[in-house]
């Protein structure tokens, strides 16, 4: 459609659209049928959009790896000023993005289609006005009919049996945003965009540490992440990230590091030739030695053994290897590790390496306690998008219980319901995975397994989340650096509240996930008695 009236140029969204067209094949595949080059009011972005479409229709992929060559070829026919502006724009995209990385495709598609609809309205309204002034009634009516076609495309309605929708659905199911590494990831399963995931646990059990671990692992997977802190200032959030990345502590010293072991090794009842030692910790029925007695067992040269756990393979052709896991009985012990005091020089060296390897994927925003609501977060995410072209795919909100309601008149469970509804809306509208820690009841401090009955304030929050995880830890487990992650609720798969995955931690050096083991237990008891 030819535009008859020029409107105010919205170059910010046009640059984001160009970024998507250069970086993401998935984005191009979705929006290319709806693109009309007249939607681009900026001549520079229009030109690059034309290059991207030509490349995509020829090769059916995004031109990220070839855009430099395309520019060098096309710039020979351009004015020097025009070439310089486009070159600067392309270099900025190249410096901040990688092919199919750093783009929240679903969110950008929504913004793009909204922009296209707005532009179509502007063009149609302008054309109708001019045609009416010329008394070209039939042509003005044609403009209305053509706009209805665009409206249908951008309406959001889908046919579930359309072949394209089948492909879209299966691609979304097969391509989650994040799967955590190791047995913990296998236990929790995939996490998808637009999900709200809650983390429930008693006071001071490490909810923020777990949220920070998910945040860090996602960022290191080249997923753009933001950490919204409603409790700690930004420097404290940063310090936790630095500790997680460096393994350094507030003060230099030797630290006990929990590790997996086997009860049969600790009892000395294992007679397999590959057991790591001939020593044992205790007799069956004895209490497990405390961490304070670790030194005396070092002198006895006791060593943990996890041979059966590490070498078990359910798909092996060798029966003995398939059955190794039956010989393993979960236990934990310790090793020593020297850790230096955290300092700016080590942090800067580590950050330089991360920036070179991973790029620009992390942001932190802190609010004073009890000062922010979800609308404030949305506003600041919009500012982040406008100023840094940074659109997160994972958002940590730490923590949900101290968010204000968007409506000041609400209190009690009405306020809690409003907060969790708005967090779910944030996930859906931003097409992002939202992680929201929340406190359990005081009774949860005294139990071994946190369940739905320990949901604090408003149990209705369980209806708003896609997943609610539980953090389970007795005082003895806390002393030994053992956490058990459970599943209180899951909208999309079956779950058992008393089934948990064991995770080892050493918080003093910033490590909330040193390793994990399987899903254990279906009853009310842990698989380990730690005394």
Dump pLDDT digits (tens) for 456-499: 988 999 999 999 999 999 988 999 999 999 999 999 999 999 99
Could you tell me the pLDDT band of residue 298, with boundaries at 50, 70 and 90?
low
pLDDT of res. 525: 34
pLDDT of res. 316: 81
pLDDT of res. 148: 59
Whether residue 11 is predicted with pLDDT greater than 90 in this model: the reply is: no
pLDDT of res. 527: 36
| Paired sense of beta strands 467-472 and 196-201, if any | parallel
Could you tell me the pLDDT band of residue 144, with boundaries at 50, 70 and 90?
confident
pLDDT of res. 182: 93
Q: Which two tokens stand for residue 109?
A: 């598609």
Whether residue 327 is predicted with pLDDT greater than 90 in this model: the reply is: no
Q: Could you give the angle at the alpha carbon of 415 between the alpha carbons of 413 and 416, nearest 5°?
A: 60
Q: How far apart are CA 442 and CA 204, in angstroms?
A: 12
Whether residue 232 is predicted with pLDDT greater than 70 in this model: the reply is: yes
Whether residue 296 is predicted with pLDDT greater than 80 in this model: the reply is: no
More confident residue, 244 or 351: 244
Residue position matching structure tokens 């009853």: 523
pLDDT of res. 530: 33
Contact 118, 40 (CB under 8 A): no
Mean pLDDT in residue range 319-334: 86
pLDDT of res. 411: 82
Q: Where are the domains of the chain?
A: 11-165, 182-250+341-520, 253-339
Q: How far apart are CA 16 and CA 24, in angstroms?
A: 12
Whether the upstream peptide bond of residue 399 has omega within 30° of 0, thus cis, is yes
Phi first, then psi: give them for residue 157, nearest 5 degrees: -75, 140
Helix (H) or strand (E) holding 375: helix 374-388
pLDDT of res. 1: 40
Comparing CA positions, the residue from 108, 78, 80, 97 lying closest to residue 12 is: 108
Q: Could you give the angle at the alpha carbon of 67 between the alpha carbons of 66 and 69, nearest 5°?
A: 70
Mean pLDDT in residue range 271-293: 80
Average pLDDT value for the chain: 88
Q: Which two tokens stand for residue 210?
A: 């777990």
Mean pLDDT in residue range 519-529: 40
> Residue 488: which residues within 8 A CB-CB, separation 6 or more?
200, 450, 451, 452, 455, 462, 468, 469, 470, 495, 497
Whether residue 520 is predicted with pLDDT greater than 60 in this model: the reply is: no
Alpha helices for 24-61 (secondary structure H): 25-31, 43-59
pLDDT of res. 521: 46
Q: How far apart are CA 419 and CA 422, in angstroms?
A: 5
Residue 49 burial class via C-beta count within 10 angstroms: exposed 0-12, middle 13-18, buried 19 and up:
buried
Whether residue 191 is predicted with pLDDT greater than 80 in this model: the reply is: yes
Residue position matching structure tokens 């007249």: 38
More confident residue, 503 or 522: 503
pLDDT of res. 6: 36
Give the percent of the chain with pLDDT over 70: 92
Whether residue 432 is predicted with pLDDT greater than 80 in this model: the reply is: yes
CATH fourth-level superfamily of 182-250+341-520: P-loop containing nucleotide triphosphate hydrolases (3.40.50.300)
pLDDT of res. 382: 92
Q: How far apart are CA 395 and CA 434, in angstroms?
A: 5
What pTM did the predictor assign?
0.84
Contact 373, 404 (CB under 8 A): yes
Cross-strand bridge partners of residue 484: 472, 502
Q: How far apart are CA 428 and CA 196, in angstroms?
A: 9
Instruction: Annotate 69-90 with b (16+ C-beta within 10 A) or e (fewer).
Output: ebbeeeeeebeeeebeebeebb
Highest mean pLDDT among 9-23, 231-245, 506-520 belongs to: 231-245
Whether residue 379 is predicted with pLDDT greater than 80 in this model: the reply is: yes
Whether residue 519 is predicted with pLDDT greater than 80 in this model: the reply is: no
Cross-strand bridge partners of residue 225: 362, 394
Could you tell me the pLDDT band of residue 300, with boundaries at 50, 70 and 90?
low
DSSP letter at 222?
T
Q: What is the per-residue pLDDT across 15-57, written as a single tens digit (0 to 9) for each? A: 999 999 999 999 998 898 889 999 999 999 999 999 999 999 9
Mean pLDDT in residue range 252-266: 93
pLDDT of res. 526: 36
Helix (H) or strand (E) holding 260: strand 253-262
Comparing CA positions, the residue from 370, 378, 437, 381 lying closest to residue 408 is: 370
Residue 175 CA, chain-centre distance (Å), reads 13
Whether residue 352 is predicted with pLDDT greater than 90 in this model: the reply is: no
Q: How many CB atoms lie within 10 A of CB 314?
A: 9
pLDDT of res. 284: 77
pLDDT of res. 523: 35
pLDDT of res. 297: 67
Of 2-11, 121-130, 308-317, 357-366, minimum mean pLDDT range: 2-11
More confident residue, 86 or 135: 86
pLDDT of res. 528: 37
């Amino acid at each position: 459609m030819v535009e008859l009236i020029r409107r105010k140029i919205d170059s910010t969204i046009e640059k984001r659209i160009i970024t998507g067209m250069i970086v993401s094949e998935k984005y191009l595949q979705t929006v290319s049928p709806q693109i009309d080059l007249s939607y681009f009011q900026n001549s520079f972005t229009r030109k690059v959009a034309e290059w991207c479409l030509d490349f995509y229709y020829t090769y059916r992929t995004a031109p990220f790896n070839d855009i430099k060559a395309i520019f060098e070829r096309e710039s020979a026919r351009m004015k020097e000023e025009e070439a310089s502006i486009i070159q600067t724009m392309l270099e900025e995209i190249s410096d901040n993005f990688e092919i199919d990385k750093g783009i929240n495709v679903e969110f950008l598609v929504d913004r793009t289609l909204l922009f296209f609809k707005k532009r179509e309205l502007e063009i149609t309204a302008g054309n109708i006005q001019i045609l009416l002034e010329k008394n070209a009634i039939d042509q003005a009516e044609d403009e209305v009919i053509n706009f209805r076609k665009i409206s249908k495309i951008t309406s959001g309605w889908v046919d579930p049996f359309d072949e394209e929708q089948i492909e879209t659905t299966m691609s979304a199911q097969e391509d989650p945003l994040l799967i955590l590494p190791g047995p913990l990831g296998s236990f929790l399963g995939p996490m998808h965009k637009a999900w709200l995931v809650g983390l429930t646990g008693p006071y001071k059990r490490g909810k923020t540490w777990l949220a920070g671990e998910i945040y860090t692992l996602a960022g290191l997977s080249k997923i753009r992440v933001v950490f919204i802190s409603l409790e700690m200032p930004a420097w404290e959030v940063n310090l936790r990230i630095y500790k997680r990345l460096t393994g350094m502590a507030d003060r230099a010293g030797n630290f006990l590091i929990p590790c997996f072991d086997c009860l049969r090794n600790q009892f000395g009842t294992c007679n397999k030739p590959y057991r790591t030692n001939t020593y044992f910790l205790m007799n069956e029925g004895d209490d497990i030695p405390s961490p304070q007695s670790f030194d005396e067992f070092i002198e006895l040269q006791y060593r943990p053994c996890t041979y059966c756990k590490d070498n078990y393979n359910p798909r092996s052709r060798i029966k003995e290897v398939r059955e190794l896991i039956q010989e393993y009985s979960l236990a934990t012990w310790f090793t020593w590790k020297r850790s230096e005091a955290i300092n700016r020089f080590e942090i800067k060296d580590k950050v330089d390496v991360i920036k070179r390897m991973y790029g620009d994927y992390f942001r932190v925003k802190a609010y004073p306690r009890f000062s922010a609501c979800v609308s404030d977060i949305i506003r600041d995410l919009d500012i982040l998008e406008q100023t840094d072209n940074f659109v997160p795919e994972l958002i940590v909100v730490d923590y949900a219980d101290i968010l204000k309601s968007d409506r000041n008149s609400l209190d009690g469970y009405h306020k809690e319901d409003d907060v969790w509804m708005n967090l779910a809306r944030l996930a859906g509208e931003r097409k992002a995975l939202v992680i929201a820690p929340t406190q359990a009841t005081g009774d949860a401090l005294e139990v071994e397994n946190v369940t739905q009955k320990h949901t604090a304030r408003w149990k209705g929050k369980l209806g708003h989340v896609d997943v609610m995880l539980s953090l389970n830890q007795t005082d003895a487990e806390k002393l030994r650096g053992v956490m058990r992650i459970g599943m209180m609720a899951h909208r999309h798969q079956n779950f058992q509240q008393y089934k948990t995955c064991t995770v080892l931690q050493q918080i003093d050096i910033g490590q909330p996930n040193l390793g994990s083991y399987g899903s254990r237990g279906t009853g009310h008891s842990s698989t380990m008695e730690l005394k």
